[in-house]
Structure 1
């Protein structure tokens, strides 16, 4: 399923660090510059909670209940013990924050957090430091965890389900996000009525069919833009008749233009 998001790569060694996993320190930060041939961490889990942040490029995080996009100004929070996999764009710069259970007041579910410039800079600074239990590093960790617990949640994810008919739709749309088939056309392909498909999508994902498909398109769009594609290229790849139509959809969904949403966070 979702083959477009799983393009053979390997970041596993970044998450197999026994010292980090067994340490009782409240927080560890790790920086990874992704290469063309090392872009995926297959499904795994940690005892600690994990925040995934990208300062360059993009990364998608998949958990059993959904697919989450990590745009440059956000981080995806994965609670400890939850199975997940990460797929990065080529040449992405990623930061992973490993947080000891109970060290911060963070949600007990996977979610996207909008990160303030202060939180981002603290994460980058911690990852770039030589590990040392100095007074400054302890103060930085305390400040970071306190600030992180106040970051607002953004709703940028694609709810996933094991329901076979919706798995088929998600897979085909991931392979060809330019497919503009209507819900009625999808229903005919699946041998069901349009109303039945509408009820099924709502029951399984909590979203209307149109909103569910739009969420997938937004994830594809942000991922492609973060990887360096132009707005024109992304608009065409998603099957929009004009760039302005794509920008209008993006603004309605996320409240700002693609360029302003991503910003320039390269570091």
Structure 2
């Protein structure tokens, strides 16, 4: 709940050793961060509290448990307390971290993305503006209780890329994350990891819950959202992902999210400008 200004700084973002809610006597605290001067890739760390990462501008990619999540503008990523994770942010990212004391709200026991309503976003931003002395105010206490109740009601999103720790699946995932334009077929990947195509097909579904084709499309979506939020053009992203044309990429994007890339980010631009 203790506010920290979102001004650029050469100091590193808060880590698990820098956050101590016991000093605020509050069930939650929020911190606004501007990442223009920070490293793009953070080290793996964990927090005693649960953490919601709310993207106001730009995007952040989070690695936690057996998955990779993208947090585009006006979405949130929930990380339960004690879960090791690392974040990669775009250089234009402006984020708000909301730390929640264990047991303060009925929140998921596993990592997930959450849709954040405009009202909840404004409540979180209001909490981030408060001072340490405000933590003991009865009005602020009521505000935080309503905020946490609203957070518990938010719908889960689907911007997750499941990644297995099985050596063969992990090898393929690492290669495609490094070069998402790689268009090798399932059969070619099976030969690469020395298994039959049928075995790899079965293993992929068993380990990720997705077919290879659906998994690769999800990977492309996660990377596309991050890069587009970071300022890349549709043409650049389509080329980087190995699509034959921007149109082919837009078709994939619209099929996955129900809208075009330009409309997707335009719909979020107004609220991001107000943050």
- TM-score normalised by L of structure 2: 0.88
Aligned partners of 1:240 and 1:246 also within 8 Å: yes
**In 1: Cα distance, 2:176 partner to 2:207 partner:** 17
Aligned partners of 2:12 and 2:38 also within 8 Å: no
Deviates more, 1:82-91 or 1:113-122: 82-91
Relative to structure 1, the CA distance from residue 37 to residue 100 in structure 2 (aligned partners, 3 Å threshold; closer, same or farther) is closer
**In 2: Cα distance, 1:50 partner to 1:30 partner:** 11
**In 1: Cα distance, 2:19 partner to 2:100 partner:** 14
State the Cα deviation string for residues 12-56 of structure 1 (Å, max 9, x = none): 534432433665511100111113443333111111110011101
How far is 1:11 from its partner? Answer: 4.2
Aligned partners of 1:50 and 1:80 also within 8 Å: yes
Aligned partners of 1:56 and 1:93 also within 8 Å: yes
Gaps of at least 5 residues in structure 2 are 1-9
Q: Say which SS state the counterpart of residue 182 (structure 2) adopts.
A: coil
Deviates more, 1:169-178 or 1:109-118: 169-178
Aligned partners of 1:11 and 1:40 also within 8 Å: no
- TM-score normalised by L of structure 1: 0.91
- Which of 159, 183, 190 matches 1:187? 190
**In 2: Cα distance, 1:47 partner to 1:102 partner:** 12
State the Cα deviation string for residues 184-241 of structure 1 (Å, max 9, x = none): 1111222222111101101111111111111111111000001001111111111111
The 5 A counterparts of 1:1-267 are 11-20=12-21, 23-131=24-132, 132-133=134-135, 134-262=137-265, 263-264=268-269, 265-266=272-273, 267=275
What's the Cα RMSD here?
1.8
- Count of aligned residue pairs for this structure pair: 259
Gaps of at least 5 residues in structure 1 are 1-8
